[in-house]
Amino acid sequence: MYSAAETFPNDIVGELCRMVKTAAGPTERFDSEKSKMWRSCKNLGMHTEERLIRRHRGFWQREYTNPTHKIITDLRQRYADWKARREDAANEQRKALAADLVALAARLTEVDADFYGEAIEALREAAHASCGGEGHGGV
């Protein structure tokens, strides 16, 4: 292992720094560094204990130069969990969008299928594409 005088390999420190900065999500227009750091801390579930907040700040500012295997593994797991939650939320949004598009196509079909034929087909294709090619309710 590395002594206190040595620094941990930069690729690991860089990876940890990238993970915590990515977990902040998209940057808002007037975001400060502190607000992005806090959002990342909350997204990774590290906002509940002071020691985790300090650890997160160290990763964010690349000051944490000698993390243990347990700390690295913990952060990687928190990051993977956050990404999975984010992907699940995105999938739910895509499904909701597809359902809305299918419902709109159905309403247009009831009103006048001949007149709105092209729009109905475009809505169905968009619903199909928003679900990644999965079925779209059979409209």
- Are both 100 and 131 inside the same structural domain? yes
Examine residue 74 and state whether it is found in any structural domain, yes or no. no
pLDDT of 1 > 70? The answer is no
Can you point out the beta strands (E) in the chain?
A: none
- Are both 44 and 100 inside the same structural domain? no
- The per-residue pLDDT for 138 is 47
- Are both 58 and 98 inside the same structural domain? no
pLDDT of 6 > 60? The answer is no
Sorted by sequence, the CB contacts under 8 Å of residue 98 that are 6+ apart come out as 127, 128, 130, 131, 136, 137
- Are both 63 and 16 inside the same structural domain? yes
Sorted by sequence, the CB contacts under 8 Å of residue 16 that are 6+ apart come out as 59, 64, 67, 72, 75
Q: Which residue has the tokens 């709109």?
A: 104
- Are both 105 and 134 inside the same structural domain? yes
Section 22-42 average pLDDT: 90
pTM listed for this prediction = 0.69
Q: How many separate domains does the chain show? A: 2
- Are both 96 and 63 inside the same structural domain? no
- Are both 20 and 51 inside the same structural domain? yes
Examine residue 104 and state whether it is found in any structural domain, yes or no. yes
- Per-residue pLDDT of 86-139, as tens digits, reads 999 999 999 999 999 999 999 999 999 999 999 999 999 999 998 776 544 444
Per the structure, the complete domain to which residue 136 belongs is given by 87-139
Percent of the chain with pLDDT over 70: 88
Give the alpha-carbon dihedral of 22, 44, 54, 69, to 10 degrees: -90
pLDDT of 56 > 50? The answer is yes
